[in-house]
Amino acid sequence: MGTLTGPQSKQLRDSLARAFNERTFEIFLWEELGQRLDSLAPSNEPFTGRVYHVIRAAGESDWERDLIVAALAQRPKNQALLNLAAKLGLIENAGGTAGLPGPDTEQQPLQRFIIESSGLGDPAVWHARMGYLLRQVGRVEVPLDAGGTLTGTGFLVASDLVLTNYHVVADVRAGAARPEAVRVRFDHVVGPDELVPNQGTAIALAQRWLAAWRPPSEVDLSPHPGAHLPGRDELDFAFLRLAASQPGRGRVRLARPAQPGGPGAGTVAGDWLIILQHPGDEPLKQAFGLSLGQNANQTRLRYKITTDRGSSGAPVLNERLELVGLHHAGDPNFEQWHTPEYNAAVPVAALLDYLEARESALVRELAG
């Protein structure tokens, strides 16, 4: 059952009813949480009544907190949501800056906007979004018939759809591993005590488990590719259908293109990027670094961010915690005394372009 008290539930209902109208609330539920308003609340009730039914359904299925965090990410200046999230421990501070004195307009300001900077953001909202993301990234576990287990990273892009690298599950398709043995393990994270990791929840694959895929490129393995580039269909991705839907977890948000037909946000050289990953079979880790930009045909994004075996298929996120890439490989130059210079991802824009060009039904799922 739900963890909210009666007054907290009323506060959430009133906040949501003021923050959204019926149409925007319907879109928000589907795009951020994979929930359909019509299946949660009668259509003949007033909007506030429908919001009540959604909160009640969230409490019964244990996704109340996800509802609050997702709503706060959409409406970061809603003080009632901020106060409720702080009271529940979902964010560290909702106090804002109301007590600070205003700027002295008669004097030159001491601060400057720096063009190369990442810009100004709300730390409480960023913290809440990151906490939400932790539930959407999982470890892909592939037990091999010959013994041993291959691992990678994957993440939810719909309530029952995980995106990872094709090379993570290539042995399954080749018959060297059984699909019914594969698991995607969510919530495998280190707790606040920083000692004992939560073993998480392991989810099996559906019978029709491979929704779409494309292989990597031989160029990715060449230490000296010269002018050769990966093909626009050599994108090393696999969409895995889960046996059990995970609606309460939400999904990783796609970055909006900087312009129609242009690359996704956060892919310009010098931008800060973040990778959430399961390196070396470990609990979920994070790593930060700088983008090195995209290759000539925008099929690869390079960056200076540490990864390891098991990180394949991890989400590459921009500073707004939006998906900009699918991590898949590192510098292939293993010559003696050579220090690896980069890791690389498939830009999400290239992946979406491939699906859209083929009128794939997945495009509608990803768009909600």
- List, in sequence order, every beta strand (DSSP E) within the chain: 137-143, 149-158, 161-164, 183-186, 201-214, 237-242, 272-277, 285-294, 301-304, 315-317, 323-330, 343-347
Q: Which residues contact 104 (CB under 8 A, 6 or more apart)?
A: none
3-class DSSP assignment, residue 84:
helix
Q: Would you list the domain boundaries of the chain?
A: 6-87, 134-368
* 67-84 pLDDT per residue, tens: 888 888 778 778 888 888
Rounded distance between C-alpha atoms, residue 84 and residue 72, angstroms: 10
* 331-340 pLDDT per residue, tens: 876 555 556 7
Length of the chain: 368
**What's the DSSP call for residue 249?**
G
Question: Any idea which residue has 């892919």 for tokens?
Answer: 267
Per-residue pLDDT of the chain (368 residues; tens, 9 = 90+): 567 888 888 889 998 998 899 988 988 888 778 788 999 999 899 999 999 999 999 888 878 888 888 888 778 778 888 888 878 777 654 444 333 333 333 334 433 333 444 555 677 778 888 888 999 999 999 999 999 999 999 999 999 999 999 999 999 999 999 999 999 999 999 877 666 678 899 999 999 999 999 999 999 988 777 789 999 999 999 999 999 998 888 888 887 554 444 444 446 788 899 999 999 889 999 999 999 999 999 999 999 999 999 999 999 999 888 899 999 998 876 555 556 788 999 999 999 999 999 988 898 888 76
Q: Which residues contact 269 (CB under 8 A, 6 or more apart)?
A: 290, 291, 292, 293
3-class DSSP assignment, residue 125:
helix
Burial class (CB in 10 A: 0-12, 13-18, 19+), 277: buried
Rounded distance between C-alpha atoms, residue 212 and residue 163, angstroms: 10
Kindly give the pairing relationship between strand 272-277 and strand 285-294. antiparallel
Query: Which listed CATH number (2.60.40.10, 2.60.40.730, 2.40.10.120, 1.20.1250.40) goes with 134-368?
Result: 2.40.10.120
Which residues, in sequence order, are bridge partners of residue 203? 184
Q: CA-CA distances (angstroms) from residue 296 to 81, 153, 232, 233?
A: 44, 27, 11, 15
Torsion over CA of 304, 224, 308 and 145, rounded to 10 degrees? Answer: 150
Burial class (CB in 10 A: 0-12, 13-18, 19+), 32: buried
Helical segments of the chain, H only:
6-19, 22-33, 37-40, 47-60, 64-74, 79-87, 123-133, 166-173, 348-357, 362-367
Question: Any idea which residue has 């691992």 for tokens?
Answer: 151
User: For position 120, what pLDDT does the model report?
Assistant: 59
User: For position 106, what pLDDT does the model report?
Assistant: 38
158: left (phi over 0), alpha (psi -120 to 50) or beta: beta
Cβ contact 315:284 at 8 Å: no
User: For position 211, what pLDDT does the model report?
Assistant: 96
User: For position 94, what pLDDT does the model report?
Assistant: 43
- Residue type at 356? E
